Structure 1
C-alpha cells in the first residue's frame, strides 16, 4: 500500500512576491499549493467515508478497509488495512473540537504537529543509534527479540495542513486492558522495562525535539493539560466536602479523612492552594526535560509472545500530542498513579506490582544519584504530589475508566500521601510509592531536612 508523504509547507498567504516574468513561476506554485490545501480541507476527516475518499483521491489507495477505533477522548483514529497483504496502518486526525466533547471543549489541533515532529525525531535517533526499536517489532523479527522491550510508535507520514498522522499499528490491546491477563512476573518485567525507557526519554532527549529552533517554544496544549489536574483539585475536594456536610458521603473511611479539622472546606482550600502553587512554580514552568505528557498504561499498546526464544512482549508508546518541555515528575507520577489503580483493582499490591517495578527501574536507570540530596528529595516530593493529586482528581471523573464506587478509596490514599508530602515533617515510608528503593530507611531519616523548601514554608 502506497504510504502518503509529509505534505509540503504551505506558502504563507501574506508572502509579498512581486509580479514579473521572473516570479511568475513562484506565483503559479503558490496558487497551486494553496489550491491543494483548500482541496484537502474540503474533507471532513471526522467521518470515515471522507477519510476513505481522501486516501483514494489524493494518495491513490485502492482495495483497502477503514475501521474506526474507539477509545480515547480527543482524536479520530482509524485502522486502514490493505486487503491483499493485510498490512495495517493507523491514521489519527486532530480536530479543534474533541471527539468526546464536541460542543463544550476545544484544544488547538496544532497539538498533533508536536506529536508528528517528536515521532520523526525519535525514529531518526533510534535509526542513527542502530537500536532495534521500531523495525524489530513491526517486522516481527522473532529471531532478534529475546525479552520484553519498549519502543516509540514508528512514524509513517504527516499532513500538516489537515492534521492527519499515519503511524505503525501497535496492535489491538493496550496495557490497561491486558493487565488482568498478565502474571505478576510479567507485570513486573513490563513495569521495569517501561521505567528504564522513560528514564532514558527524560535523561537523553534534547529539548530541541520540542522547541525546534526557538528555545522558548513549548507545546501550549501540553502545558495547559499538565496544570488542569491541579485546577480541578479544589473542585473535587469541594464535592466530597458537600457530601460530608449533607451526610451523603457514604464511604466512612473517606469521611474520617475529610473531617479531622474544624473547617473541612477551609482545609481543602488550603491543601489545594499549596499543591497548586507548587505545580505553577516547579512543574509547568520548569524546563527540565522532554516529557511524554500523557504517559499511562492506556497509551501503551502490547503485543505478547512475539519471540521464539521465550515469553516476551512488544510495548508501543502512543499519543505524543501533549509532549512538552517540563518536569519529569509529572510523567512518573501519572503512570505510577494509574498503575496503582490497576494493581489495587486486580488484587495486587502497588508496592510489589506494576507500579513498584516501574518506580524502582526508573530510579535505578536514571541519574537520580547524581546531584544534591536537596534537589533529589524535592523532586521525589513533586512525584508524590502529582501521584496523589491524580488519584484524587481523575477516578471520580466521568471520562476515567475506574469504577466510580472505588473512587473514594483512591481519594483516601491520595489524600494521605498529599497531606504528608506537603507537611513540614514528611515520612516518605508512609507514602508506599517508593517502597523497595535501595536505602529507603536512610532517605526517610534525611528527607524532612534535605528536601529544601516545601509548600508549607
Structure 2
C-alpha cells in the first residue's frame, strides 16, 4: 500500500484535531527532523493559559522523509511518557547568578496525545532554531572572548541539565520499565554506532583498515553492555545539537534564553556515555568541518557542566565520540569536502584507539583534554 502524500497527512491531522482544544485554523509544516511530520499550529481558540500556537508532531509507521524505511510507532508512546515524566524535572539555570548569560534548559510542555492517530501536541518555541544551525549561522568566524564565554556557558548549561537528568532518571523505576521496552530503537542505535563503525572500514580502507581488530573488540564490548541491563539506565538516546532548540535571535546578556531538549522517541536504557559522546562528537564536528572554535568551546563547557566522572567513564565517553565521528560524522551529505570527511574518519580512529589503550597523556595534549579535566 502506497504511503499517503504530505498533503493527505496534513489534511488528516487537521481533521483529527477538530473538536479538541487544539483545533487549528492552520498548520505550517516545519523543517527539521526526518522521522515525523512536524507542524506549527495556530489554534482556533487560545488555551486557558493564553497559548495561541502549539507544535504538532504526527507519526506514521515509517520515516517521513523515507517512507520505505519502516519505524515502530511504539516510539510515540515512549516520547509521550518521557515528556509527561519530565514535566516534574526542574529547569537547569546558570550556576553562577553573576554570569551575564542565563540559559534555561528544559523539555517542552506536553499537552496532548491522540493514541488512535499518533498525533502529539507540545509547546512551541517561538522562532526556535536547532543548536547546530544556530552555531553555523552565529559562531562561524567569531573567535572573540565574548563568543568564547557565551559558548562555554551554553555548553555548561547543557552539561548541567544532562547530568541532572541522568541522576534523576536513574531513580525513576516506572519510567525505566516503559523505556526498557524500546528494544527496536535500542538495536538501531547500536547498529548505527558499532555495526556502521566496522562498515566504514570498506569506505576508508587506507585510514581505518589497521584498526579493524580494535573496532571489533569495541563492538563486542558494546553488545556485552546491552546484555547486562542491571548496569544500564534511562538515557535520551539521541542527544545531539539537532535536538536542542533555542531562539534564533542573538543571545543577549541578562536575558533568559530558553533551550528545549526535544525528540524523546529514541529514549532507551543504555550507558549515559552514549548521550555525552554523541553531543561532544557533533559539537566537535563544527571545528573539524567548519573551523568553528565555538564548537570546541561548547564541548569544554558541556564536559565541565556535566561534572566529575571516573577515568573509566571518561575513556568510555571518548570511545563513543570516536565511534560517532566515524559512523555518522562521515555520512552527512554536504557536510564537508572529501578531504575533511577523511580527516573526520582519521580523527575518530585516533580517539578510539587511544581511548581503548587508556592513553590519557595523548588526550591531555589534544582538543579533547577536557574529557579528563574533572576525573576522580
Structure 2 CA distance for aligned equivalents of residues 385 and 283 of structure 1: 16
Contact 1:234 1:269 in 2 (8 A): yes
Query: Hey, what does 2:315 align to over in structure 1?
Result: 381
Q: CA deviation at 1:207?
A: 3.9
Query: Hey, what does 2:152 align to over in structure 1?
Result: 188
Q: CA deviation at 1:160?
A: 2.0
Residue 97, structure 1, aligned to residue 62, structure 2: yes
Residue 227, structure 1, aligned to residue 190, structure 2: yes
Query: Hey, what does 2:42 align to over in structure 1?
Result: 81
Query: Hey, what does 1:363 align to over in structure 2?
Result: 307
Secondary structure in structure 1 of the residue aligned to 2:76: helix
Residue 432, structure 1, aligned to residue 376, structure 2: no
Secondary structure in structure 1 of the residue aligned to 2:201: helix
**TM alignment of 1:406-425, pairs within 5 A:** 406-423=340-357
Of 174, 185, 188, which aligns to 2:130?
174
Q: TM-score scaled to structure 1, two decimals?
A: 0.68
Structure 1 CA distance for aligned equivalents of residues 151 and 252 of structure 2: 20
What 5-or-longer segments of structure 2 have no aligned partner?
94-99, 140-146
Of 28, 33, 47, which aligns to 1:67?
28
Q: Which has the higher contact order (CA 8 A, sep 6+)?
A: 2
Structure 2 CA distance for aligned equivalents of residues 315 and 280 of structure 1: 33
Larger radius of gyration: 1
Query: Hey, what does 1:49 align to over in structure 2?
Result: 11
Of 260, 272, 275, which aligns to 1:331?
275
Structure 2 CA distance for aligned equivalents of residues 163 and 293 of structure 1: 21
Contact 2:280 2:299 in 1 (8 A): yes
Q: Kindly provide the CA deviation profile for residues 383-426 of structure 1, in whole angstroms up to 9, marking residues without a partner as x.
A: 1111001001112325x673353321211211111111122655
Structure 2 vs 1, CA of residues 239 and 46 (structure 1 numbering), >3 Å: closer, same or farther? farther
Bigger drift between 431-440 and 379-388 goes to: 431-440
Q: CA deviation at 1:307?
A: 9.8
Of 111, 125, 128, which aligns to 1:156?
111
Tell me which protein shows more strand as a share of its residues. Answer: 2
What 5-or-longer segments of structure 1 have no aligned partner?
1-41, 135-144, 245-256, 259-263, 369-375, 444-457
Structure 2 vs 1, CA of residues 64 and 177 (structure 1 numbering), >3 Å: closer, same or farther? same
**TM alignment of 1:281-296, pairs within 5 A:** 281-282=224-225, 285-286=228-229, 287-296=231-240
Q: CA deviation at 1:46?
A: 6.6
Contact 1:351 1:432 in 2 (8 A): no
